Amino acid sequence: MRRTSYSLLALAVASTLVAPTAAVAAADWSPLREVGDHALAVALDAQTVALISIGGQDEATVYDQRVVAGSAGPRTEVMTVEGAESCRPVEAVSSLGNLAVAVECQQTTGLEDPPTRLVELVWTGDDGWVWRVQSEGTLASLDHSPQGQYVVFATNSQYGRPHHVTSYHADLGWRDLRRPELGLTGDDLVAAIDDSGNVVTLRGSGSEDEPGYWFGGRMRIETYSDARGRWTVRHRQAYPDGGIAPGRIDVAAGRIVAAAVQSRSTGQLDGRADRVLLLSGTPRNPRSWSPPRWSRDVLDVSAGTTQAGAGAATWLAVGDRRAVRPWLATWAPTRRQPSAVRLGAASRVDETVLPGHVLDLSVAADGHGVVARASQAPGADISTVAATSFVLGARGHLREQQTMAWVQPAHMTVAVTAGTGAAGITIGRMTSYFLASPLVQYAVLPWASDSRLSVRGPG
């Protein structure tokens, strides 16, 4: 949490998001509910929502509140981040009733631009809350293994320090794997984990020192074997005329689906060009795909995969005059390349929209998924938030699609989490650039009318 008539605008977005291919699912999104304190709503099953929020004297205390069948329980303090202030939950994942949350905080240093401290929290029904605090770093990615046994946090370092790939297992505890930066200018990485504790990372780098001159452009896929305790480079590729920025990677049954942003120079001042780069297959020999046309920028890149190996990816292509076109691609293991479709009409991006917060995708291991988008028409003072739920089949087809749209004030943000029994959407608002309102709304979509999970509240 990374814009005409109200009814006509909502109808236009809802009808063009994804063309239906099957009957609408029986369940419906719940009404929007308001909550404050920079909360993030995560549906654990069809009845239970975890509201993870921030408060306390320095806005550095993490709270957990459970809402069961619409009734809110007590707000319980989880922990306080020492030496930090202005915290906010940035991402969450859930599987089989378990929950993992990443919270970023500014360190209390008195500096105008203080370093970021990352809190990695995991909740399981048997063990309650556990956490670790990275003294420095920002979240790169957060991933549950397909059956929810492992969680992995990837932290991109600052100030030349190593990256961290931190995993947690309820019986084995925490494991912190440090990864040194690559090259003189460093790199970024994202990570995923399987149910055996094996990790796969996608790393990318590249910077443009002056128009037409790129330095250090490269991509690398690495795997970590839990049994051998060893990292192995599986795939590498140089980009001498551009760079790679990793977006997201997911793994299931030994296969990956990943999304990154490939950049190149146009030879003009501030004239860079971007396009999405999708990967699918084994870490050693992945297939790659990019659209033929380059855009001015590519934002909000995300990807996920099912237990059967079918992948989905989303991204925003930003053209001239800040026109934004969202895309959704699905990629089955049997296909040589993905199938990409537009997610509705173009909108715009302005100075109050924070990249990483206007398009989001989440896919559970069983194929249930949600894609949500906040859009604003040029010149309008309202936004439309549209969320489409679906089931991603083994052959890459979308089934049981259901779209819901909400008319909101301008400059909205979205975050979605698809779990085993339900999905949740958190809708926030940017009041100015990099400044989010503490008031958010959320809605829940159960996958079925009754839940087979039994999830206890905090404590």
The DSSP annotation for 305-336 comes to E-TTS-EEEEEEEE-GGGEEEEEEEEE-TT-S
Residue 12, pLDDT above cutoff 80? no
pLDDT score at 188: 94
Per-residue pLDDT band at 269 (split at 50, 70, 90): low
Residue 320 sits at φ, ψ, to 5 deg, of -65, 150
The tokens for 186 are 């460093």
Of 21-25, 201-205, 343-347, 374-378, minimum mean pLDDT range: 21-25
Residue of higher predicted confidence among 381 and 331: 331
Residue 27 has pLDDT above 70, yes or no: no
Q: What is the pLDDT of residue 344?
A: 80
The count of other CB atoms within 10 Å of the CB of residue 132 is 15
Phi first, then psi, for residue 16 (nearest 5°) are -110, 0
pLDDT digits (tens, 9 = 90+) for 176-208: 999 998 877 789 999 999 999 999 999 999 988
**In which element (H, E) is residue 413 found?**
strand 412-418
- Do residues 307 and 364 make contact, with C-beta atoms less than 8 angstroms apart? no
**Quick one: pLDDT at residue 363?**
96
**pLDDT, position 354:** 55
Specify the higher pLDDT residue, 184 or 79. 79
How far apart are the C-alpha atoms of 13 and 454, rounded to whole Å?
36
Q: What is the pLDDT of residue 209?
A: 77
State yes or no: pLDDT of 260 exceeds 90. Answer: yes
Comparing 44 with 2, the larger pLDDT belongs to 44
Q: Please give the model's pTM, rounded to 2 decimal places.
A: 0.89
For range 288-311, the mean pLDDT: 94
Give the pLDDT confidence of 91-137 residue by residue, as tens digits: 999 998 899 999 999 988 777 778 889 999 999 988 899 999 998 88
Q: Is residue 393 predicted with pLDDT exceeding 70?
A: yes
User: Which structure tokens are listed for 298?
Assistant: 């590519």
Choose the weakest-confidence range: 71-75, 165-169, 235-239, 431-435: 431-435
**Using an 8 Å Cβ cutoff, are 339 and 330 in contact?**
yes
Long-range contacts of 59-65, Cβ-Cβ distance < 8 Å, separation of 24 or more:
59/85, 59/86, 59/87, 60/84, 60/85, 60/86, 60/87, 60/105, 61/87, 62/87, 62/89, 62/101, 62/103, 62/119, 62/121, 63/37, 64/123, 64/129, 64/458
d(CA 205, CA 187): 5
Q: Are strands 359-363 and 347-348 parallel, antiparallel or unpaired?
A: unpaired
* pLDDT tens sequence across 394-451: 999 999 998 999 999 888 899 999 998 899 999 998 877 667 888 899 999 998 643 3
Question: How large is the average pLDDT for residues 55-81?
Answer: 95
CA distances from 369 to 36, 38, 453 (A): 26, 24, 18
What number is the average pLDDT over the span 18-38? 66
1: pLDDT confidence band, cut at 50, 70 and 90? very low
